[in-house]
Structure 1
Amino acid sequence: MQPRIKNWLRSASIGIAITLSTSGLLRAETLAETLVSAYEHSGLLDQNRALLRAADEDAAQILAALRPIINYSADITRTFGQTRNGFGTSGLSNQDVNVGISLELLLFDGGQTRFQLESAKETVLATREALRSVEQQVLLRAVAAFQDVRRNQEFVALRNNNLQLLRQELRAAQDRFEVGEVTRTDVAQAEARLAAARSEFAAAEGDLAQSIEEFRAAVGRRPGALQPPRQLPNLSGDIDASAQIAVRNHPDILQAQRQVAAAELNVSAADAATKPRTSLFGNVAAGEEIGGDDFSRTGSFGVQVTGPIYQGGRISSLKRQAMAQRDASRGNLHEVRHRIVQDVGNAYAILRAAQAQRRSSREQVRAADVAFRGVREEAALGARTTLDVLDAEQELLDARANMIAAEADVVVAAYSVLASLGQLTAKDLNLDVQLYDPAAYYNLVKDAPVPISPQGQKLDRVLRALGKE
């Protein structure tokens, strides 16, 4: 019995060694390469960049209200009818052509439009921060997808190796049973362990398939061999100092601050709506009867002052609404600040727990390896049963699986800390990508260019390059 046991144990040792070393044999993709693909692929980023461009246009539209507004009008009118009186019946039929141009220029509105313009600019800045927050979500999702695939790939390899070893053991048990060295119970134990291993292998393959689909959704392509990150982000470990950094720099809190500023400007704009509005106006018009001699040429210009007297309480309601929205945005800022501080604390707690689990898992692997080797030697001397060896080998594989999971959790937790600080962006990570400039489009549209202007033509080229026109 001892030679067969030694041969099987030798095969088990070789199998475990092969499993633990296969991850370094292939050309593997780095985490940075995965993040680059996620940044370039993300439809969520494209969506929020488009929303930012829409916010940029809001500012341009409000600015346009401060410029001269010129409209034209034209009509062709045919007039016909009959008139009957004491002298008889007469018919009426003529056609008139009329054209006109009108101009209006806002001179003063109590600052309402200016307040609205400044509010729109604050909204643009808030939307930029929202885009930065989405970028963090996209990259953190890619980190998690990367680590899930790595973990499940190694789980499949471990379970497959375990399955092969148990098949060898079952054959050895059957051989020993045939010569009377073991009982039917030993064979049944090996069969039961093999059946359990098949179930665990199938579950591992299912988990890997799901993680591959998540990787494809997050990154835009299927994963290949993935290289473990060589180093983690450099984190200070000081929770209080990190919380202060997050309160100053996290995109969520900067967005909330901009929203408060915009809401306060909206209150000022609502208050200005009660003030007089002064405009300069002018128009010229010409009309002529087709086929006749009648024609007219008219023109006028002047200054108009308008203001509300009574609108059923609408204006005061709008002001109260703006004040309520301002108060809501202030409350949101307060809540966001507390959430950011809490997220930093939670992220560090998760990271430290993951690091502790990794240390424990490494110690567990070391101890399980020593135990496995000891049980193997004792079995070779006849002091241990085959089931004892199987149990020790299973404990070693389980310990290795725990260590793989702990390694993946540490990486995800470290990048989650970066996200809680507001530093998980392509710029902060120095990714090899062409960074999106959130101010570029605004700089093109902030002066509300018309299509025939040089700036408008440049804007058209930008839109064509984006594929949005």
Structure 2
Amino acid sequence: MNRSRRVARLMLGFAASLLANTAANATTLEAAIAAAMRHAPEIVVADADTDAAKARLAQARSGQLPTATLVGTIGYGRLDPQNFFGLGAANVTPRAAQVTVEQPLFTGGRVGSGIDRARAGIAGAEAGQSGARAQLAMAVTQAYGDVLTAARMLTLYERLLIETTEIERQARLRYRAGESPSTDVAQASARLAEARAGLARAQGMQVSAHAHFTNLTGLEPIDLQPLPANPPLPGTLDEAMEEAMRSNPLLVQAQAGLRAAQAAARGARAERLPTVGAFAEAGTVRDQFFPDYRADSATVGVRARWEFFSGGRMSGKVAEASSEVRAADARMRAASMQVEEEVISAFQEVRTAQLVEQAATDQAASAAQALESVRHEVRVGMKPQLDLLDAEREAIAAEAGATRARTDRIVAAYRVAALLGRL
């Protein structure tokens, strides 16, 4: 008795360990999305674009900071002053060095507009980054659901093939025994061929779904968990619309583009104004004009530059920048209208998908119940075998519809979340 109890405890422990390992190796939708974020090249591109935009801000800010420049020359030659000042020819090593420090005092707004443009570029790049992540999350959700659908379809058609093979075999036996006409054999063979074709399609669908999932995530679609519930979404369309107008990546990117264009226009107008800066210079010269020549200098002052005539270049830049502002404003308004339409459509799609999923689930349950009833009636001889095949086809179609409806429901929910900038 004690030995039996020990064996039972060991078996229970082994089973618990196996279940724990299985759960640890299982892949959820969230894990698949996280893997895709690490794997997808488009995320790397979006991250790099954001880093580049931040680097441009550092460049723009440098325009208001001092600069230091060191210039130096050295050479070797022969200098002949032609007895000027009584100096004769001699070999010389002419060399000079100058260090200059400059601090901008007034740039006419060039630097400020450049900083504003760079900041708008960062906002646009970050919005593009968010949009890329949202699009990838939706693609992974669709691929995840397609893998589950393909696996379920494969199981259903494998079961159908087994049953149609057996029905076709029994039809041939009854025909040989003279109990049924050849029509039953032909119909059973046709249903068997249909089942084989359906299985081939399911196998092809599974291969394609696996390849797409692996391409997106870098993972093998092994032991995928069922689709989860929808992510949290606003309760009303008005709430969704308000959030989308505030956070939608496409709209935020368009708004950033408008701000960047406006900053560029300010920068173009600023080029008509002078620039003023303070400077300090120190230099040293050796062997430049006659042998053993020495000179040191130090200067502090203010330097101004004003290009008051450019032959129309600056006016052209201002006109170009103004046109870019109008175009950016139009793009922003177009993005706003597009987002509004997409939010209305996607929000309604979520509600529709939920209703379709419920109806498809009920249909699948009813079809499965009807299949069991027909199977029992065929077993007792109340209905022919072909009725069982018809019931099988209806059950498979209903189950496939329910599986696809679950995928459509979660994809629709993620689409709304993406439009709201939540992903």
TM-score normalized by the length of structure 1 = 0.78
Shift of 1:382: 4.2
Shift of 1:404: 1.2
The correspondence for 1:67, drawn from 65, 68, 81, is: 65
Contact in 1 for aligned 2:227/2:407 (Cα 8 Å): no
The correspondence for 1:188, drawn from 170, 183, 186, is: 186
Shift of 1:93: 5.7
SS of residue matched to 1:65 = helix
Distance 2:234 2:54 in 1: 37
Aligned sequence identity (%): 27
Aligned-partner residue type, residue 356 of structure 2: Q
Aligned-partner residue type, residue 339 of structure 1: Q
Distance 2:95 2:320 in 1: 48
Aligned ranges for residues 29-428 of structure 1 at < 5 Å? 29-79=27-77, 94-289=92-287, 292-380=291-379, 382-423=381-422, 425=423
Aligned ranges for residues 19-38 of structure 1 at < 5 Å? 27=23, 28-38=26-36
| Cα 1:116/1:192, change in 2 over 3 Å | same
TM-score normalized by the length of structure 2 = 0.86
Structure 1: segments with no counterpart, 5+ residues: 1-25, 85-89, 426-469
Structure 2: segments with no counterpart, 5+ residues: 1-21, 83-87
Aligned ranges for residues 441-456 of structure 1 at < 5 Å? none
Distance 2:219 2:388 in 1: 42
Contact in 2 for aligned 1:153/1:208 (Cα 8 Å): yes
Shift of 1:158: 1.0
Distance 1:208 1:237 in 2: 36
SS of residue matched to 1:302 = strand
Aligned-partner residue type, residue 228 of structure 1: P
Shift of 1:69: 1.3
SS of residue matched to 1:352 = helix
Deviates more, 1:366-375 or 1:235-244: 366-375
Shift of 1:92: 7.9
Distance 2:220 2:369 in 1: 38
2:19 corresponds to? none
| Cα 1:377/1:224, change in 2 over 3 Å | closer
Distance 2:390 2:235 in 1: 40
Contact in 2 for aligned 1:237/1:348 (Cα 8 Å): no
Contact in 2 for aligned 1:351/1:414 (Cα 8 Å): yes
Contact in 2 for aligned 1:281/1:302 (Cα 8 Å): yes
Distance 1:113 1:394 in 2: 71
Aligned-partner residue type, residue 104 of structure 1: E
Contact in 2 for aligned 1:173/1:182 (Cα 8 Å): yes
SS of residue matched to 2:108 = coil
Deviates more, 1:247-256 or 1:323-332: 247-256
Contact in 2 for aligned 1:368/1:396 (Cα 8 Å): yes
| Cα 1:356/1:83, change in 2 over 3 Å | same
Deviation readout 1:130-155 (Å, 9 max, x if unpaired): 21222211222221111111111111
Distance 1:232 1:415 in 2: 8
SS of residue matched to 2:401 = helix
Output the aligned Cα RMSD.
Answer: 2.5
Aligned-partner residue type, residue 194 of structure 1: L
SS of residue matched to 1:410 = helix
Deviates more, 1:379-388 or 1:279-288: 379-388
Deviation readout 1:228-267 (Å, 9 max, x if unpaired): 1342223345223311221122222222222222222222
Aligned-partner residue type, residue 320 of structure 2: Q
Deviates more, 1:59-68 or 1:37-46: 37-46
Shift of 1:380: 4.3
Distance 2:37 2:292 in 1: 71
Shift of 1:421: 1.8
Aligned-partner residue type, residue 300 of structure 1: T
